[in-house]
Amino acid sequence: IVIGVDVFMNLALEKAFEISGSERKILYKVVVRGSSILMWELLEKVIG
């Protein structure tokens, strides 16, 4: 869930997870630098 974003596309995420091979690790709250984002995938439809 995106809980914040700025003009540089830095993201604050909640309920995030990391996938490495077949392993899935829950990260809870994280900040991702916009310059390090390579791919973005929408997993659920956003209504609003």
* Placement of tokens 């659920």 in the chain: 44
Domain that holds residue 16: 2-36
Closest C-alpha to 14, from 22, 23, 6, 5 = 5
The Cα–Cα gap between 38 and 35 comes to 8
pTM strictly above 0.95:
no
The answer to the question of residue 41 being in a domain is no
The answer to the question of residue 44 being in a domain is no
The answer to the question of residue 12 being in a domain is yes
The Cα–Cα gap between 32 and 18 comes to 12
Q: Give me the number of domains the chain comprises.
A: 1
- The average pLDDT across 18-47 equals 86
Binned at pLDDT 50, 70 and 90, residue 37 comes out as confident
The answer to the question of residue 14 being in a domain is yes
The answer to the question of residue 48 being in a domain is no
The answer to the question of residue 11 being in a domain is yes
The answer to the question of residue 25 being in a domain is yes
7-25 pLDDT, tens per residue?
A: 988 999 998 888 889 999 9
Cα four-point dihedral sign 31, 3, 34, 43? positive
The answer to the question of residue 10 being in a domain is yes
Residue 12 near residue 31, CB atoms below 8 Å: yes
